[in-house]
Amino acid sequence: MTKRLASVTAEDYRLLAEKRLPTFLYDYIAGGANDEMTMAANIADFRKLCLKQQVMRDVSDVDISTVLSGKACRMPLALAPVGMAGMMARRGEVQAARGAEKAGVPFTCSTVGICSVEEIKAATNSPFWFQLYMLRNRDVVLSILERAKAAGCETLVFTVDLAVPGMRHRDRRNAMGAGGLAILSQIVARPRWAVDVGLRGQPHSLGNLTEVATDTSSLNGYKNFVEEQFDATVSWKDIAWLRSVWSGKLIIKGVLQEDDAREAMDAGADGVVVSNHGGRQLDSVASSISKLPAVVSAVGDQMEVYMDGGVRSGIDVVKAIALGARGVLIGRPWIWTVAAKKEAGLIDLLNTFQQEISVAMALMGVNKIDQLHGGMIERC
């Protein structure tokens, strides 16, 4: 294999992250549910879509800026919530939030992030989004929302597709959660991670859940917390309750069906994310990009529609926008990059996304994001 002189694309950073992370952590991020068919389809279905090139247009003033959740952004992209990002890189959520801020795009803090909203706020100057899982104890949920609001979060991303954790066989093969020699041997094999993240990156507790998560310093403790505290009884009436206690923007993440998108709208949501959780929940469901047009058709005139899953380049972003998305969220690309090259790497990757979007639009003969439309996409 030819050695890469520099990392440029998401795939470059994935390869580098695989070399630097302990196997159980790399597979936790890179893996999907069951046979990983949905995870593969998320990427493969983007490749089945071709862009239409238009020539002899004046494209001297290409502008890829847009507005996401009421805020101006340099491109139609946000960083998706990634649980335990601070285990992949030293204070990983902080590094990602700073990188996103410099690139002019939103960062989404996960409920189960290592860094708290207070730590992220102290390290940044721009408002960031907050992602919520519904916990059994609603008083704790209210407390978390108050903390998020105090930290300047104006957009809440509520994830609805994790009623129960998906079957992730890679994690079981790696004995993730079991601890002991199996995990220790993987850590020893990655001494750079062991020092930079394992030692210098402490504490590794879930910063936003200090009230209820008393034993999350180990992966087994984290697993037990998820099983005990995540609420499988959540229904649309809970979204209505959430809307009543959250005054900011509310985006529902994890919608694949038009009827669910309408339910989200009726419950008071401002937007939805067409998402299958990166193929990490129910395997054999359709790819996000294949479900996007129907959801846009159902609710796109009345609320913002985003998508995630399988986005690996600016070209993918252009395809999603042309099919009706307001913006896309990326998860694995940013966490691989921060794990491999920290904040500086993330800034470089986001710059690459910006350039890819701009060049693609110019070669398609358009100057503005809102000039992209479904007629500019064809099946390959």
Which residues are marked as active site?
Answer: 277
Token pair, residue 221, equals 């403790």
DSSP secondary-structure letter at 279? G
Token pair, residue 245, equals 């206690």
Q: Do β-strands 327-330 and 77-79 pair in parallel, antiparallel, or remain unpaired?
A: parallel
Question: Distance between CA atoms of 283 and 361, rounded to whole angstroms?
Answer: 34
Token pair, residue 277, equals 């959780």
Question: Distance between CA atoms of 22 and 188, rounded to whole angstroms?
Answer: 8
Token pair, residue 89, equals 């890189």
Question: Distance between CA atoms of 153 and 7, rounded to whole angstroms?
Answer: 32
> What SS3 state is found at 245?
helix
- For 291-339, the DSSP string reads HHHHHHHHHTTTSEEEEESS--SHHHHHHHHHTT-SEEEESHHHHHHHH
Closest CA to 269 of 117, 99, 132, 85: 132
Closest CA to 262 of 272, 250, 248, 251: 272
DSSP secondary-structure letter at 347? H
Cβ–Cβ < 8 Å for 266, 235: no
Cβ–Cβ < 8 Å for 132, 156: yes
Is omega for the bond preceding 203 within 30 degrees of 0, making it cis?
yes
Rounded alpha-carbon distances, angstroms, from residue 377 to 7, 65, 194, 257, 314: 29, 21, 46, 22, 15
Q: Nearest 5°: phi and psi at 331?
A: -115, -70
